[in-house]
Amino acid sequence: MPGFRLEMILSRSANRLGLCASQPNIPFRYPEGKYERGELAYIHDIPVLAVEGLPREIGEQVAVLALLPAQILLGYPMDVLRRRLPIGDKLRQKVFEKLVQKGRLLLVNFPEHHRAEFEALANFNMDRDPLLAANTMFDLKNVGLRELFGCSSLIVNAEHTATGKPLFGRNLDFFSCGYLHAYSLVTVYRQKDKKAFVCIGFPGFIGCISGMNDAGLCLASHDVFTPTPDRKFNPNGTPFALCYRRLLEECCSVDEAIELLKKMERTTSTLLVLCDKEGGATLELTPDNVIRRSMVNGFCTCTNHFTSKQLSAKKQDNVYRTLDRQEKLQNIAPGEKLGIKEMQQRLHSVNQGDLTIQTMIFEPEHLKIHLAIGDGPSSRHEMKTLDFGLPASGRKGPLSR
């Protein structure tokens, strides 16, 4: 796709053995390699997986190159339950089984190509129930799993940046359970008749909660801690992360994304931050409403509560310091211009310790992502730049048509 090429830097001297998570003193590293049209390599010490083809083929490429070496992630849904539900093992197992039962019902609502990709993953010697839970459990807030994603986002328009173009920064705050941070993965998708896009996430999770496409449309999903009069759950809805992946697959701008979201059946309440080459917005989403919060004075901030007149609470609890983080992000001096360094400092100022496991800054105009991953807070680590707008330089990269 013109203007959106990834030039792989293959570090052949790197460890290609895929160290097992059961070796606690040795950091995990994805093994580099190729399978069919997929390839996994490290770029500036960031694992990048490029996948291409039909949904079944993509599912197999993810399974072989990333999820098989990282099968510890299949235990993550139960580890989250242990963290969130301090109850006996037998009762917790019943909760897990209930999640899986509800997940099977949601699987029917997956877009067809997403379901085919999931089935390819599940059929590749994977434990199906944990994989299904990982892709559906976070939509099921009605089973006591509220208050999971304590994230922070900041968009700055061109007038207020040192680059002269919009910048979009985001912290992903989530339970690491001691290991999730080590399995972050950047995945580049190329699918027929869809836009190429990049997802910052984890193997086996086929939705997108942080990403950017070849048009420069970027997004970040946030959990929301505000009770609303709307439905808590829509059993006919599509899991939110799959809705957001569709936005990257089909849309070029914030406005297009909003119009597509309005046509979707959605499962639950979330916040979604969107940014394109012109600027951005925050969306307050429920199964029944899509409400836009536009930029104010050139800035857009988001933590984990609704602020619109329609959905805000009379008294908002300060869960995970959501009010404090929002106030701190909004505290920008008049005339101040933010560059990449200053954006990272802002994100670090609202970090939540070991909950902050991914920190990223998008440059939509230049198709760049500045990314820091690792043990929390990730915002303290050096940011590595992934340039998805590099010229081909005479080489055929994984995104070349």
pTM: predicted TM-score of the whole model, two decimal places: 0.91
Per the structure block, which two tokens stand in for 227?
């009770």
- Give the pLDDT score at 142: 62
pLDDT tens sequence for the chain (401 residues) = 433 443 332 232 233 223 333 344 578 999 999 999 999 999 999 999 999 999 999 999 999 999 999 999 999 999 999 988 888 999 999 999 999 999 999 999 999 999 999 999 999 867 899 999 999 999 997 666 666 668 999 999 999 999 999 999 999 999 999 999 999 999 999 999 999 999 999 999 999 999 999 999 999 999 998 888 889 899 999 999 999 999 999 999 999 999 999 999 999 999 999 999 999 999 999 999 999 999 999 999 999 999 999 999 999 999 999 999 999 999 988 889 999 999 999 999 999 999 999 999 999 999 999 999 999 999 999 999 999 986 533 334 433 33
Cα 26 to its chain centre, rounded Å, is 26
What's the fold here for domain 152-182+220-237+256-387? Answer: Penicillin V Acylase; Chain A (3.60.60)
On whether the CB atoms of residues 230 and 264 are closer than 8 A, the answer is no
Cβ-Cβ contacts under 8 Å for 234 (sequence gap 6 or more): 265, 266, 267, 268, 287
- Give the pLDDT score at 228: 86
- Give the pLDDT score at 146: 61
What distance in Å separates the CA atoms of residue 221 and residue 268, rounded to the nearest whole number? 12
Comparing CA positions, the residue from 385, 282, 294 lying closest to residue 343 is: 385
On whether the CB atoms of residues 384 and 46 are closer than 8 A, the answer is yes
Comparing CA positions, the residue from 196, 249, 193 lying closest to residue 3 is: 196
- Give the pLDDT score at 399: 37
On whether the CB atoms of residues 249 and 199 are closer than 8 A, the answer is no
Domain locations in the chain? 152-182+220-237+256-387
Per the structure block, which two tokens stand in for 286?
């429920």
On whether the CB atoms of residues 274 and 218 are closer than 8 A, the answer is yes
- Give the pLDDT score at 22: 38
- Give the pLDDT score at 299: 95
On whether the CB atoms of residues 219 and 364 are closer than 8 A, the answer is no
- Give the pLDDT score at 14: 30
Task: Report the first-to-last Cα separation within the chain, whole angstroms.
Answer: 6
What distance in Å separates the CA atoms of residue 351 and residue 328, rounded to the nearest whole number? 11
